[in-house]
Structure 1
Amino acid sequence: MQRLDGDALAPADLRGGVVALGNFDGFHLGHQAVVGRAVERARAEGRPALVATFDPHPVRYFRPDAPPFRLTTLDQRERLFAAGGADAMVVFRFDATLAALTAEQFVAERLVHGLGVAGVVTGEDFTFGRAKGGNTAVLATLGHAQGFRAETVGPVARDGEPVSSSRIRAMLQAGDPLGAARLLTRPFAIEGVVQHGDKVGRTIGYPTANLELGPYLRPAYGIYAVRGRLPDGRVLDGAANLGVRPTFDPPKELLEPYFFDFAEDLYGQRIEVELVDYLRPEAKFDSLAALTAQMERDCARARAVMTVGSRG
């Protein structure tokens, strides 16, 4: 899997490909359908399959003060695209230069000149170009003029509603990671480098691997059953606090997973933590003894959740 700079010319072996084009934050069922169609076309025509995404997200460019909302990082998307069968990920840097391009300029400069596309696949609601001047109809017309075929994929529905990143975000913010996972086809996961904390958890028998939330959406604060993935491929079950730790002062927003039956040093390592199930909201305790007793109950419940999940 190669990562290409959307500002540069694609290498010869990846030109003439079929490109899935969109933001693809979350890479949910709807996104998977778009990428799947591009891969299917590419394989049938003997061409490379590429997935093009934008970073930062256009919302972050136009509304820099918007609260964090990302469902995936670029690294996570790259792995997901590779698992979906793509040969390369193209990253269009969304900056003032890109924002100023008209729909016609974007197609001519970035898709035709930069990538040499033979085909483009998007979702039905895809818009592009300055002031959202381009849509799927415009893309099809420009593609016909430029010698490539544009195709759209309709929305995918679950439970009678279209799957969307905004729907997934709402579920996570409501404390429904199981519902979000059904639309994502996997648990929502936060990846980061393990930071040194105040080490209070270690003193009460629950050492945690602390991760900053960075650009990720803030799901409902609370206690979760989680699954951790280490750089060496090991998978660990655990329980985690996600929030501001109201028992401690000063508050600090963190994801703090405690992994069962694990005592190794993870400081400085990049790990990924999946939020499998929501157990309860954050709470403030009057003493460390009360906190410890509740953590014991939380861990017992998380173990039960993960045991049932592993059987399923």
Structure 2
Amino acid sequence: MLRRSTILKKESVDALAIGSFDGIHVGHRQLINHLGENGALFVIDKDQANLTPGIKRSEYAGYPCMFFHFLKIKHLSGAEFVELLKKEFINLKKIVVGYDFFFGAHRSCNAYDLQKFFDGEVIIVEEYSYKGVSIHSSVIRSYLQEGRLSEANRFLGREYAITGDVITGQGLGNKELVPTLNLKVLEYLIPREGVYATRTKIAQHIYNSVSFIGTRHTTDGQFSVETHILDETISEIQGAIELFFVEFLRDNQKFNTLLDLKIQIEQDIKEARKHLFTCKVYLSDFL
């Protein structure tokens, strides 16, 4: 939920949190919490963000994001980088970074060097961890690729979500199995192949669902991302919908017949219901 408008003119910005901010996880939130009313995220973009691509970072952060491509600033010395910040944000009074922040050509300066070049307030946030594991986007990616969804969601402080456009599927769902919405997903990291308890957001409504990601071994051998809405009949959908991952249920597998697959889907739906009513991410564990 947004705490304020994510639109802010540069001349109004008085505090910046600097980083790549892919994921906007609970570690990032330790920086964001220092920003105040007129803060913004200075996003150093390397075209590698796949947990929260593009403007989604503003949505999750609750603050405007100012994107600066890494290739445009990587040649700057430490002093030149800070001068760029002061030029772009003329009322800048505070900079917030993590303990592992480096800047300047060839990563020549560390977080503590900011205090040499910037005459305002510099806040350096120390390492943030949970049960001895430091929280980083790379760790969350690994968890998602391993199907360790509970850990990934705990580190994110929310349910991992992807957005995709609804496309035409095989047509088997309505006839032989259960009706599904098939998605074309770009940019986002796709979690491990398998079946998940999910929530599906269509327009402004969120439905309980069970979703499949992976190669359809039993039918056409094609890769798909598809979701079955529970207890609702959904008319034809066009455009983008959002899929929130609640719990990993099982690995992808091949079935001998469509009947065997349908029986398993019915079991998946039962399992999904259990998790959808019990699984929550508790932000209070971190904030």
Q: TM-score, normalised by structure 1?
A: 0.81
Q: What is the CA–CA distance in structure 1 between the aligned matches of 2:123 and 2:76, rounded to whole Å?
A: 22
Q: What is the CA–CA distance in structure 1 between the aligned matches of 2:198 and 2:87, rounded to whole Å?
A: 45
Q: What is the CA–CA distance in structure 2 between the aligned matches of 1:167 and 1:223, rounded to whole Å?
A: 22
Mark the CA change 1:26 to 1:206 in structure 2 (over 3 Å): closer, same or farther.
Answer: same
Q: What is the CA–CA distance in structure 1 between the aligned matches of 2:235 and 2:87, rounded to whole Å?
A: 49
Q: 2:233 aligns with which of 255, 263, 270?
A: 263
Task: Provide, for residues 264-303 of structure 1, a one-character-per-residue CA deviation record: whole Å limited to 9, x for no partner.
Answer: 2353332211111011000011221111111111111111
Q: 2:76 aligns with which of 101, 116, 120?
A: 101
Q: Which amino acid aligns with 1:93?
A: H
Q: What is the CA–CA distance in structure 1 between the aligned matches of 2:93 and 2:24, rounded to whole Å?
A: 23
Q: 2:112 aligns with which of 100, 117, 137?
A: 137
Q: Give 1:204's aligned residue.
A: 176
Give the number of the structure whose residues are more often strand, by fraction. 2
Equivalent residues of 2:100, 2:111 under 8 A apart: yes
Q: What is the CA–CA distance in structure 2 between the aligned matches of 1:266 and 1:134, rounded to whole Å?
A: 54
Give the number of the structure whose residues are more often helix, by fraction. 1
Shift of 1:198: 2.1
Q: What is the CA–CA distance in structure 2 between the aligned matches of 1:241 and 1:181, rounded to whole Å?
A: 18
Q: Give 2:96's aligned residue.
A: 121
Mark the CA change 1:134 to 1:197 in structure 2 (over 3 Å): closer, same or farther.
Answer: farther
Q: Give 1:236's aligned residue.
A: 207
Q: 1:248 aligns with which of 208, 216, 219?
A: 219
Q: What is the CA–CA distance in structure 2 between the aligned matches of 1:159 and 1:120, rounded to whole Å?
A: 28
Mark the CA change 1:200 to 1:104 in structure 2 (over 3 Å): closer, same or farther.
Answer: farther
Superposition map of 1:1-312 within 5 A: 1-3=5-7, 10-12=9-11, 14-15=12-13, 17-39=14-36, 43=37, 48-57=38-47, 60=48, 70-82=50-62, 86=63, 88-94=64-70, 96-109=71-84, 111-116=85-90, 117-144=92-119, 148-231=120-203, 233-252=204-223, 254-265=224-235, 267-309=237-279
Q: Percent identity?
A: 28
The alignment partner of 1:24 has SS state of: coil
Q: What is the CA–CA distance in structure 1 between the aligned matches of 2:255 and 2:166, rounded to whole Å?
A: 25
Task: Provide, for residues 137-175 of structure 1, a one-character-per-residue CA deviation record: whole Å limited to 9, x for no partner.
Answer: 22221113xxx2221111222112221112212211221
Q: What is the CA–CA distance in structure 1 between the aligned matches of 2:236 and 2:139, rounded to whole Å?
A: 34
Which sections of structure 2, spanning at least 5 residues, go unmatched?
A: 283-287
The alignment partner of 1:206 has SS state of: coil
Q: Which amino acid aligns with 1:278?
A: F
Q: TM-score, normalised by structure 2?
A: 0.88
Mark the CA change 1:228 to 1:75 in structure 2 (over 3 Å): closer, same or farther.
Answer: farther
Q: What is the CA–CA distance in structure 1 between the aligned matches of 2:31 and 2:240, rounded to whole Å?
A: 30
Equivalent residues of 1:193, 1:267 under 8 A apart: no
User: Over aligned residues, Cα RMSD in angstroms?
Assistant: 2.1
Equivalent residues of 1:193, 1:211 under 8 A apart: yes
Equivalent residues of 2:19, 2:43 under 8 A apart: yes
Mark the CA change 1:309 to 1:25 in structure 2 (over 3 Å): closer, same or farther.
Answer: same
Which sections of structure 1, spanning at least 5 residues, go unmatched?
A: 5-9, 61-68
Q: What is the CA–CA distance in structure 2 between the aligned matches of 1:174 and 1:266, rounded to whole Å?
A: 33
Q: In the comparison of the two structures, how many residue pairs are matched?
A: 276
Q: What is the CA–CA distance in structure 1 between the aligned matches of 2:95 and 2:58, rounded to whole Å?
A: 19
